[in-house]
Structure 1
Amino acid sequence: MEPEADSEHDATDSVIRLEGVGKTYGTVRALTGIDLSVQAGEVTCVLGDNGAGKSTLIKIMAGLHEHTSGTMLVSGKARKFGSPREAVEAGIATVYQDLALAPLMSVWRNFFLANEIRKGPLRLLDADRMKRITRDELAKMGIDLPDVDRPVGSLSGGQRQCVAIARAIYFGAKVLILDEPTAALGVKQSGVVLKYVARAAESGLGVVFITHNPHHAFLVGDHFVILKLGQMALDASRDEITVEQLTEQMAGGDELAELRHEMHEAD
């Protein structure tokens, strides 16, 4: 299936929009001609195997790498981030697979890491307020965790993902980029994380869900993009594709159909 123009959305209603974005590293072309629209309140799923270009795409939106061609629009303005801090200041939060959490520190300390609330002339930590906020924000995501003093490493994988997602939402993210959040989780914990992904979109964020699992993508996605060898192999909205078609495209698309035809002819 060839990439299709996104007729429903334009640059004026996209939180992030990539237009012909490419990235080269010397003579190596990692991305070519990427057109991608991220809408507030929607989950945009970016799928692809290892080496497809997903990591490079994340790094461009997260401010780790600058694109070398095309245009990236953030809230309608052309941007080229020079650092992750610039991306965060523009409202783009990225949750990587390692989560950037300190396992031995408490849940509330992780929640406010580098953003601590202080009080009084001595600028002491306002622990009670931070604990209360942490509990309230996790409750909004459906996690009832009265004991936020426990080490974050004692939480389940799904709960740790929830802490990272809730933290990003609380600190003003407009776009939440999730890098393979279900890759290392079992079926039950994956379901928990997918619920949080949906809730993040329901709260009004534009969510970019990076995954290699078409079934997980289809459970929460509104828009689907498949990358292959740094190029877009699919660009479709939810009403334009089924989970079976999405899975087939991930498995090889036209190449798979051609192989089936050859096998049928051989029979």
Structure 2
Amino acid sequence: MGPAHGDPEVSEMTDQNTAPLVELRGAGKSYGTVRALHGVDLAVHAGRVTCVLGDNGAGKSTLIKIISGLHRHTEGEFLVDGEPVRFDSPRDALAKGIAAVYQDLATIPLMPVWRNFFLGSELTKGPWPLRRLDIARMKETADRELRGMGIALDDLEQPIGTLSGGQRQCVAIARAVHFGARVLILDEPTAALGVKQSGVVLKYIAAARDRGLGVIFITHNPHHAYMVGDNFSVLRLGTLELSAARGDITLEDLTNHMAGGAELATLKHELAQVRGVDTAELP
């Protein structure tokens, strides 16, 4: 059974009464003469999961890069807390509470879990020049934050590479939350995982939402998106093909948009011309 989803009526009231944490209005990005993204509207609210779906080349990566500060948008508006912004680097985005968790997770497999949790932001103690790592405090903090997300590990000394793919994703999510993320961008977190491990990650996406974060869940899997999503945006060839709230769309509709209903209808028509292919049973 999938992660419990919030009350849709409460979610709609939340949307109406609060300004988006992050908002794109007609946003786009061009690389010279190549237009990678055009006219995209997207709003991310606290305590909501916004799912962005699309096939390879749809523009998902470009969208992530704009919101996370890797690239500047070249058209439209990008607002954080209602104020227009133009980030120069991911550090600018982090300062505004926007953190991205990519598929490679930025972890070092042979290092312990607690070291990876604080990688690049290690806690120290003692006077300079005799400062040293505060290992006890880092272990205690990592354990507390992981348990706060519902992740209980018996041994924080174990190399993070020995954890399952789902567990590593969850450590990366908990790390981003600890370091002040208000908006969490998750780049295809279930793409390389099996069914059970995907369920683990979806559970922690729901946990992040329930802690009040605005979550942007990038995926090409409509079933995973529908299990935890509150709003759905489908990108196709750099433009927004669909934007709908959970109450306004069914899983079947979402899957059809994601799969490209028009293209499938054309393919079915073409297959009908091929001898030996029975299209009567095709959807």
Question: Hey, what's the Cα distance between the residues in 2 that align with 1:81 and 1:12?
Answer: 23
Q: Which residue of 1 aligns with 2:276?
A: none
- 1:28 matched to 2:34: yes
Aligned residues with identical type, % of pairs? 65
Distance 1:145 1:208 in 2: 26
Decide whether the 8 Å contact of 2:18 with 2:45 is kept in 1. no
What is residue 5 of structure 2 aligned with on the other side? none
How far apart are the structure 2 equivalents of 1:256 and 1:105?
47
Q: Hey, what does 1:177 align to over in structure 2?
A: 185
Separation (CA, whole Å) in 1 of partners of 2:73 and 2:13: 24
What secondary structure does 2:57 align onto? coil
Alpha-carbon distance in structure 2 between the residues aligned to 1:26 and 1:99: 30
The answer for the alignment partner of 2:217 in structure 1 is 209
1:147-201 Cα shifts (integer Å, max 9, x gaps): 1011111110011001100000001101000000000000000000000111011
Distance of aligned partners of 1:176 and 1:97 in 2 relative to their CA distance in 1, 3 Å threshold: same
Q: Which residue of 1 aligns with 2:69?
A: 63
Distance 1:70 1:9 in 2: 22
SS of 2:176's equivalent in the other structure is helix
Distance 1:23 1:143 in 2: 38
1: distance between equivalents of 2:212 and 2:266?
41
Larger radius of gyration: 2
Secondary structure of 2:92's aligned partner: helix
Matched, 1:166 2:174: yes
C-alpha separation between the residues in 2 aligned to 1:35 and 1:213?
Answer: 21
| Residue of structure 2 equivalent to 1:234 | 242
How far does residue 253 in structure 1 lie from its aligned partner after superposition? 3.0
Cα deviation digits, residues 191-231 of structure 1 (max 9, x gap) = 00000111011100000000000000000000000000000
The residue number in structure 1 matching 2:136 is 128
In structure 1, what is the equivalent of residue 162 of structure 2?
Answer: 154
Structure 1: segments with no counterpart, 5+ residues: 1-5
Task: Provide the rounded CA distance (Å) in 1 between the counterparts of 2:210 and 2:141.
Answer: 20
Q: Counterpart of 1:85?
A: 91
TM-score, normalised with respect to structure 1: 0.92
Q: Given that residues 224 and 237 in structure 1 are in contact (C-alpha distance below 8 angstroms), is that contact kept between their aligned partners in structure 2?
A: yes
Secondary structure of the corresponding residue to residue 234 of structure 1: strand
Segments of 5+ residues of structure 2 without an aligned counterpart are: 1-11, 273-278
In 2, are the aligned partners of 1:12 and 1:75 still within 8 Å (CA)?
no
1:190 aligns with 2:187: no
Give the secondary structure class of the aligned counterpart of 2:64: helix
Q: Secondary structure of the equivalent of 1:72?
A: strand
Equivalent residue, structure 1, for 2:105: 99
